[in-house]
Chain A
Amino acid sequence: MDPRITDNRIRLVRKDTGPQVQLTLTDDATGAAVNLSGATATLHLKSLTTGTTVLSRALTIPPSTASQGVAVIVWSTGDLDQTPGDYDGEVEIVFTSGMRQTVYDVLKFRIRDEFA
């Protein structure tokens, strides 16, 4: 079977700034959206090769959909200028109350080198 069918990694190309990754956060117990109003969310990207965190990117939380748990990874120039390989993405949320909660599941990324 084509590994692309079973592998749920988000495939990116080095030095790109897209695609953006929209995350919809929900409470696993109730299924309700997590209210991100006033909260901050950060993606920490860790290389599986070196084990080091190579990027920390603040997520964009649109105010209009913050209550619906929507946060978007908007890559900036240079964010994906990483050594080709597999990476894990950890999403950390700090709510207005100050509570810091990290999504237990991790995002899987794979970055390949660009041709030119």
Chain B
Amino acid sequence: MRIDPRTTRIRAAIKAAAVRLGISAGTFRAVTVVSYIRFRVALGEFFKVQPLSDSARVSEGENYFAEDYVEPGYVAVPFYINFSKVLSDLAVSADAAALSLSRATSDTASLTDAVALAPRLGIIDQAAASDSGSLRMQDYCDFTYFAEDYVGESRVFT
């Protein structure tokens, strides 16, 4: 058996300590300090590294049967699982606040009337008829034959 030099040094140290303590060095001859591990090295390809992969497939609308133990003499009850699609819907309501700026139209009717006195002359119409003229009458010749009243009747009236 090959003795590691480190083991030899350790044994020597133990012996020295034992001598200092007054213990016989022969007491420790059978002591095993520790078992060292050594390795031999070999190069090569020892393993194929293959990634593990597995895929499970479950489709909706299909039946999947599971086997179960049935006591002899009993009738097995078929057990199966039917995968169906779970309908779900999540209602999402969203509203975006928008500020709409518009000018309010307003009109306030305002009627004012200023009281004004407008005195004016009252209209008075007084009918007055008057007549004046002259009256000529003749029956002898044409009326325009004489320059002035010559025969007949001529008078001025007002």
Contacts and interface: CB of A to CB of B under 8 A. Distances in A.
A25 B39 contact: yes
Query: Is the interface on chain A under 10, 10 to 19, 20 to 34, or 35 or more residues?
Result: 20 to 34
A66 interface: no
B101 interface: no
A105 B47 contact: no
B17 to A, nearest CB: 22
B97 to A, nearest CB: 52
B43 A93 contact: no
B49 interface: yes
Query: Is the interface on chain B under 10, 10 to 19, 20 to 34, or 35 or more residues?
Result: 10 to 19
B108 interface: no
A38 interface: no
B38 to A, nearest CB: 5
A25 B37 contact: yes
Given A29-B1, A60-B47, A22 B41 contact: yes
A19 interface: yes
Given A28-B4, A29-B32, A74-B49, A103 B43 contact: no
